[in-house]
Amino acid sequence: MSIRAIFVTLVSTCLLFSLPAMGKVIHVPADQPTIQAGITAAATGDTVLVSAGTYYENINFNGKAITVTSASGPAATVIDGSKGTSGITVNFSTRETASSVLNGFTIQNGSSTGINISSASPTISANVLILNGVSLYGCGGTAISVYSGAPSIQGNLISGNGSSYCGAYGAINTSSDTGIQILGNGHLKQLWQWD
């Protein structure tokens, strides 16, 4: 084997090992019956690809750097939290980073919150958040609550969330300005910041 052939083989091998591993795609419900089961089965870099339909569940990313996305967009793919007991439809509370992505769903009927973000910085993009927190008989229901972290919330449609009992609708509640990016979201009724 020539020196050139050895060099090419060595460089090719180094490049192969330096490339990031491509994650697998987990199809819901074909591979896993629920979105949460898909998340549980996923590893870093994987994609949980959700077919059109309404999924009555409450999901938690559990700190995973994965993408959970719909195959057909938010008009056809709904995560409905009405049957859960936590009041939260989607939860990020285990130090998720920007590599934890939620994309392309309608998120509705969380009895208190559509998306909860606490000590996490996920990417929330191209979702529709409606009718979260409307069952409350006091103030405080909201589409997205950010307690701490620096999430990116971009390109979402947020409308009709929060309890009208107190005369206000909740879009995005934040406990502090911690570098949150809120970009290109439509129909925001109200942005609250707690003291």
Q: Judge whether 17 lies within some domain.
A: no
Whole domain around residue 94: which residue ranges? 25-193
Percent of the residues in the chain that have a pLDDT greater than 70, as a whole number: 75
61-90 pLDDT, tens per residue? Answer: 999 999 999 999 999 999 998 887 778 899
Q: Judge whether 20 lies within some domain.
A: no
pLDDT over 80 at 156, yes or no: yes
DSSP secondary structure letter of residue 62: T
Q: Judge whether 4 lies within some domain.
A: no
Q: Judge whether 15 lies within some domain.
A: no
Neighbouring CB atoms inside 10 A of 76's CB total 15
Q: Judge whether 6 lies within some domain.
A: no
Looking at the structure of the chain, the number of domains it has is: 1
Q: Judge whether 124 lies within some domain.
A: yes
Average pLDDT, the chain: 80
- Those residues whose C-beta lies under 8 Å from the C-beta of residue 91, and which sit 6 or more positions away, are 58, 59, 60, 61, 115, 116
b/e per residue 119-143 (b: at least 16 CB within 10 A): ebbbbbbbbbbbbbbbebeebbbbb
Q: Are 166 and 192 in contact (CB under 8 A)?
A: no
Q: Judge whether 3 lies within some domain.
A: no
Q: Distance (Å, rounded) from C-alpha 180 to C-alpha 170?
A: 17
Q: Judge whether 67 lies within some domain.
A: yes
